[in-house]
Amino acid sequence: MPVRTNRETKAIIAKARKLKRARYVLRLYVAGMTPRSAEAIRRVTDFCEKHLTTRYELEIIDIYQKPALTKGEQIVAVPTLVKTLPTPLRRFIGDMHDEEKLLFGMDLVTREK
């Protein structure tokens, strides 16, 4: 395991503190109110309430009702969760059943090596 300098350690701690206060802006793209879409909505809202509490905005977009909102988002499959803030932008595809993957992808935890 690489040895970190005091400066690197302080930078990591500062980033973690900033992310703990960061506001998350999320968009969940679904296709109608199918069982798969409903499950993705439930899982994402449960995840946000558990890990982000009041620090998130979640917009649910039905691609059948608002197809224009998918332009420029590069949506190739649904359900897709897009995290626009904090940066970097991230996309999660599927029913959102893997909580660890979401935690890691949203930079809420780091993976142990």
In angstroms, the CA 13 to CA 40 distance is 32
Task: Answer yes or no: is pLDDT of 113 > 60.
Answer: no
Kindly state whether residue 75 falls inside one of the protein's structural domains.
Answer: yes
Per-residue pLDDT of 19-76, as tens digits, reads: 567 899 999 999 999 999 999 999 999 999 999 999 999 999 999 999 888 888 889 8
Contact 105, 92 (CB under 8 A): yes
Kindly state whether residue 57 falls inside one of the protein's structural domains.
Answer: yes
In angstroms, the CA 24 to CA 77 distance is 22
Kindly state whether residue 110 falls inside one of the protein's structural domains.
Answer: no
In angstroms, the CA 3 to CA 70 distance is 44
| CA neighbor of 78 nearest in space, from 99, 57, 103, 95 | 95
**Residue of higher predicted confidence among 44 and 16:** 44
Kindly state whether residue 45 falls inside one of the protein's structural domains.
Answer: yes
Task: Answer yes or no: is pLDDT of 78 > 50.
Answer: yes
Kindly state whether residue 92 falls inside one of the protein's structural domains.
Answer: yes
- Report the number of distinct structural domains present in the chain: 1
- What CATH number is attached to the domain comprising 44? 3.40.30.10
In angstroms, the CA 67 to CA 71 distance is 7
Task: Please give the pLDDT value at position 69.
Answer: 84
> Quick one: pLDDT band at residue 9, thresholds 50, 70, 90?
low
| CA neighbor of 28 nearest in space, from 65, 100, 78, 102 | 78
Kindly state whether residue 62 falls inside one of the protein's structural domains.
Answer: yes
Kindly state whether residue 101 falls inside one of the protein's structural domains.
Answer: yes
Spell 17-33 as b/e; 16+ CB within 10 A means b.
eeeeebebebbbbbbee
Domain carrying residue 89: 23-105
